[in-house]
Amino acid sequence: QVQLQESGPGLVKPSETLSLTCSVSGGSVRTFYWSWIRQPPGKDLEWIGYIHYSGSTDSSPSLKSRVNMLVDTSKNQVSLRLSSVTAADTAMYYCATSAIVPAASFDYWGRGTLVSVSS
């Protein structure tokens, strides 16, 4: 049973870089595609992007210029970096994966980590 746990600073200052880690247990990061999804308070879910350890990656056009995702096979972790953050990036950030459909049909989710952007 794959388990995911997001971690990172709960507070980030405007214009700085948000860095989150998704720790994977019960499976290898080499196995699946890893996706990031966020949900601003009281708003809709938003897909950020995905990455595979092979290097295959894609991200939302609205965030592409600011997003960087990495897979660390030695630590069995996935990371997300989002640069030049603003208050609009305040959200619950989820790491998710799928054993069903690559990079979609997310049947495994972390519990999420709340990130606030504020000075």
Partner 1 sequence: DIVMTQSSLYLAVTPGEPASISCKSSQSLLHSNGYNYVDWFLQRPGQPPQLLIYLGSHRASGVPDRFSGSGSGTDFTLKISSVESEDFGVYFCMQILQTPLTFGGGTKVE
Beta carbon nearer to partner 1, 16 or 58 = 58
Assess 46 for contact with partner 1 (CB under 8 A): yes
Q: Which long-range contacts (C-beta less than 8 Å, at least 24 apart) are formed by 45-51?
A: 46/91, 48/80, 48/82, 48/93, 50/103, 51/78
Q: Report how far residue 116's alpha carbon sits from residue 118's, in angstroms, rounded to the nearest whole number.
A: 6
Assess 31 for contact with partner 1 (CB under 8 A): no
Beta carbon nearer to partner 1, 7 or 15 = 7
Beta carbon nearer to partner 1, 31 or 73 = 31
At residue 24, the 3 state secondary structure works out as: strand
Please tell me the count of residues contacting partner 1 according to CB under 8 A: 21
Assess 111 for contact with partner 1 (CB under 8 A): yes
Q: Judge whether 110 and 5 are in contact, CB under 8 Å.
A: yes
Binding segment for partner 1 (CB under 8 A), chosen from 10-18, 21-29, 42-50, 79-87, is 42-50
DSSP letter for each residue of 9-22? -SEE-TTS-EEEEE
Interface residues with partner 1 (CB under 8 A) are: 44-47, 58-62, 94, 96, 100-101, 104-107, 109-112
